[in-house]
Amino acid sequence: MQPFKLEPEYREYVWGGSRIRPNVGRTAEAWLVYENNMITGGHLKGMYLSEAAVQGGEALLGRAVVEKTGKRFPLLIKLLDCADWLSLQVHPNNVQAEFWEGPGNFGKMEAWYIVNADSGAQLVSGFKVGTTKEAVARAVGTSSLLDIIERIDLKTGDAILISPGTIHTLGPGSLVYEVQQTSDITYRVYDWDRPMKAGRKLHLEQAADVLDPKAGGGLVSMETASPGEDPLIACEFFALRVIADNELPVQCDTRFQSFHCLTMVEGEGIIEGDGWQRRLGKFETLLIPASCGHYHIHPGTHTCLVAYVPD
């Protein structure tokens, strides 16, 4: 199989900015890789990614992926442009997702990589140390949550893993790459007293069940990460490697275990494998099927994010 690009899908929400599509206007999210993206080139052109995953099986997904989640495409990758605060929210784990949403639903482990952060940009991850379940229960759905959440200052190149059960949100001034399980289950806990219009309701019963007062996480950064091939972020569902301003070709290998999703978040670059070469522009994504094996990223002034499913 040959690598291919996907047609992004764009979403507009009240908190969106204008950095993803400057010539269009407000765009909150670009869904770069998910089941219903359409393939834009090659012999799979015009097919949805979900269809290609079923048809390609291990050749596209990889042995490790099929063993874990079958022929369903397991990741969802987005860009988020935050001009205002997102709702305070929480995601379920796999068991909770099936309980609240029905069989066949995945939970939502996710990670954020901060593509760009303005001065003063923040995120929320977890509650302040010592916060009790009783305090959380009293605060759910109200502005009292703002007194017990943990705010973290951001800079470009930071990353964080958001586990199910963690209260979290992103603040204004951040452009963020998000990788997660194939799930968009979000339980809003508080929405800054915005009107509860259709599509932005709170999910207080679900949130009360799912929230874990002890769940949270700190930032990791390219400045402190170990150099080499180790991912910046990793969990059982996905790993994320960051390749920035490489002076030499960077060798990569799917090892036939998992597809690789390459997203260029700064600059542009050339990706090359056995019998193929692709150019990636800013915010473009290339999906490399597991059967492609070895490939390399040409030297360049760019930042390329590589997401995959670990063995």
CB 304 within 8 A of CB 222: no
Q: Which residues contact 229 (CB under 8 A, 6 or more apart)?
A: 241
Does the annotation mark 188 as catalytic?
Answer: yes
Question: What is d(CA 262, CA 298) in angstroms, rounded to the nearest whole number?
Answer: 13
DSSP code string of 238-278: -EEEEEES-SSPEEEE-TTT--EEEEEEES-EEEEETTEEE
Q: Which of 72, 151, 188, 194 is catalytic?
A: 188
Residue 105 identity: N
Question: What is d(CA 249, CA 49) in angstroms, rounded to the nearest whole number?
Answer: 29
Strand order in the sheet with 276-280: 250-253, 294-297, 269-273, 276-280
Q: Which residues contact 187 (CB under 8 A, 6 or more apart)?
A: 89, 90, 91, 92, 203, 206, 207, 210
Question: What is d(CA 217, CA 62) in angstroms, rounded to the nearest whole number?
Answer: 30
Residue 139's H or E segment, with its range, is: helix 133-139
- Residue in this structure with the two tokens 């949130």, named with its chain if needed: 207
Neighbours of 54 (CB within 10 A): 16
**Sign for the pseudo-dihedral over CA of 187, 189, 194, 196:** positive
CB 92 within 8 A of CB 187: yes
CB 165 within 8 A of CB 213: no
Q: Which residues are catalytic?
A: 188
